[in-house]
């Protein structure tokens, strides 16, 4: 066994059941030893560091701090065990909330525990990441990796004027069930006590479902990266890319400090320069003003601070 002070050897008797063939170590139960090769204290430290860095950096840090080395296999086994318990807890909590009526009863159930914070402004966002699995599929005579979709949610708030805090949630469940878990996390982070709640997403259908069903009163912001990618990149407006690029150039020239600094000002200023028959924002002729774009909010938010891939 490996602990914060290095390897620890525990000699104990092993017994084997003649019926099931399973092995038993009575001393493990007596000493309350962990089921894996890592002590509880070292496991907790590794799990904590793994939320901030990769396995390679984590291994260097453990070696530097404690002169302890953990292989990728041991770390993976530790993460799988802890992650499985965390996912089961989340799923159980979501099932409990689903059985409760929407409204005060559900809120009181979550608020039985004191909120983590009471922020003035709370940010909630959700997105999807694609990850490779161990599975393969046949395609054109070749075996290719099978990718699966993982839904991710983030709750962010600022303490005072300096320290930022973040809580992250991930799951492969359906949008509505995932949205309920994200709502619970936001409530635990002080959403019901916050003066303002902002929901940021890429405008995808499932993100819209989460926002409408679980955050209907939140201010919604469509991030600039996905707005520009969808309409001026490879999205529905690709055949009209040349006109879109020209419109974007005008938008950039009107934005103080560039589009990334204030995308909403850029959209509004460039509105009059767009061809009348083509809406470079939606790909059609349906929106007359930039401040009526679904998900784009004016005021002191606009698209400020939500630029590039940093939005996700």
Q: State residue 293's pLDDT score.
A: 38
Provide mean pLDDT across the span 248-275.
Answer: 51
Distance spanning both ends of the chain, measured CA to CA? 39
| Listed ranges 64-68, 208-212, 231-235, 299-303; the one with the highest mean pLDDT | 208-212
Provide mean pLDDT across the span 269-282.
Answer: 46
Nearest by Cα to 198 from 310, 308, 297, 307: 297
Q: Residue 114 in contact with residue 202, Cβ under 8 Å? A: no
Question: Which own/partner contact pairs does 50-53 have at CB distance under 8 Å and 24+ positions apart?
Answer: 50/75, 50/79
Alpha carbon of 178 to those of 101, 214, 295, 299, 312: distances in Å? 17, 10, 21, 30, 17
* Per-chain mean pLDDT for the chain: 76
Q: State residue 212's pLDDT score.
A: 92
Task: Mention every residue, 6+ apart, whose C-beta is less than 8 A from residue 136.
Answer: 143, 144, 145, 146
Q: State residue 288's pLDDT score.
A: 33
Q: Is 16 exposed, middle or buried (0-12, 13-18, 19+ CB in 10 A)?
A: exposed
Segment 109-126, tens digit of pLDDT:
998 888 888 999 999 999
Q: Residue 169 in contact with residue 197, Cβ under 8 Å? A: no
Provide mean pLDDT across the span 235-256.
Answer: 54
Whole-angstrom Cα distance, residue 76 to residue 79? 5
Provide mean pLDDT across the span 153-180.
Answer: 90
Quote the tokens at residue 147. Answer: 């990718």
Alpha carbon of 163 to those of 7, 157, 193, 194, 311: distances in Å? 38, 9, 19, 17, 19
Segment 130-155, tens digit of pLDDT:
888 878 888 888 888 888 889 999 99
- Residue 239's pLDDT band, with cuts at 50, 70 and 90, is very low
Q: State residue 249's pLDDT score.
A: 61
Query: 147: which DSSP letter?
Result: E
Q: State residue 47's pLDDT score.
A: 85
Q: State residue 215's pLDDT score.
A: 94
Provide mean pLDDT across the span 55-73.
Answer: 86
Provide mean pLDDT across the span 164-168.
Answer: 91
Q: State residue 306's pLDDT score.
A: 38
Q: State residue 113's pLDDT score.
A: 86
- Residue 192's pLDDT band, with cuts at 50, 70 and 90, is very high
pLDDT at position 190 over 50: yes
The domain segmentation of the chain, as residue ranges, is 2-83, 107-222, 224-311
- Residue 241's pLDDT band, with cuts at 50, 70 and 90, is low
pLDDT at position 23 over 60: yes
Identify which has the larger pLDDT, 168 or 271. Answer: 168
SS3 7: strand
Q: How far is CA 3 from the centre of its chain?
A: 32
Segment 24-44, tens digit of pLDDT:
888 877 777 777 778 888 888
Q: Is 254 exposed, middle or buried (0-12, 13-18, 19+ CB in 10 A)?
A: middle
The position carrying tokens 């009059």 is 272
pLDDT at position 222 over 70: yes
Q: Is 193 exposed, middle or buried (0-12, 13-18, 19+ CB in 10 A)?
A: middle
């Amino acid at each position: 066994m490996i602990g914060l002070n290095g390897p620890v050897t525990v000699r104990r008797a092993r017994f084997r059941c003649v019926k099931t063939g399973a092995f038993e170590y009575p001393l493990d139960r007596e000493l309350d030893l962990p089921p894996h090769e890592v002590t509880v204290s070292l496991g907790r430290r590794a799990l904590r560091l793994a939320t901030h860095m990769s396995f390679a950096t984590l291994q260097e840090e453990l070696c530097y701090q404690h002169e302890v080395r953990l292989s990728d296999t041991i770390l993976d086994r530790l993460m799988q065990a802890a992650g499985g318990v965390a996912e089961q807890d989340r799923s159980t909590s979501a099932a409990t909330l689903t059985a409760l009526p929407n409204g005060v009863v559900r809120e009181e159930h979550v608020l039985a525990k004191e909120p983590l914070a009471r922020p003035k402004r709370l940010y909630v966002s959700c997105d999807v990441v694609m990850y490779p699995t161990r599975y393969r599929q046949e395609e054109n005579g070749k075996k290719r990796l099978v990718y699966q979709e993982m839904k991710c949610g983030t709750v962010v708030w600022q303490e005072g004027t300096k320290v930022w805090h973040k809580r992250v949630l991930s799951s492969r469940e359906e949008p509505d069930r995932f949205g309920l878990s994200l709502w619970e996390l936001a409530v635990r982070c002080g959403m019901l006590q916050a003066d303002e709640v902002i929901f940021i997403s890429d405008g995808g259908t499932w993100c819209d479902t989460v926002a409408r069903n679980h955050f209907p009163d939140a201010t919604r912001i469509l991030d600039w990266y996905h707005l520009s990618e969808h309409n001026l990149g490879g999205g529905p407006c690709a055949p009209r890319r040349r006109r879109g690029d020209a419109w974007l150039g005008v938008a950039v020239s009107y934005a103080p400090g560039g589009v990334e600094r204030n995308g909403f000002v850029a959209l509004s200023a460039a509105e009059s320069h767009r061809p009348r028959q083509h809406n470079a924002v939606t790909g059609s002729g349906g929106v007359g003003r930039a401040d009526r774009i679904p998900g784009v909010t004016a005021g002191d938010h606009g698209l400020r601070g939500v630029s590039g891939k940093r939005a996700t």
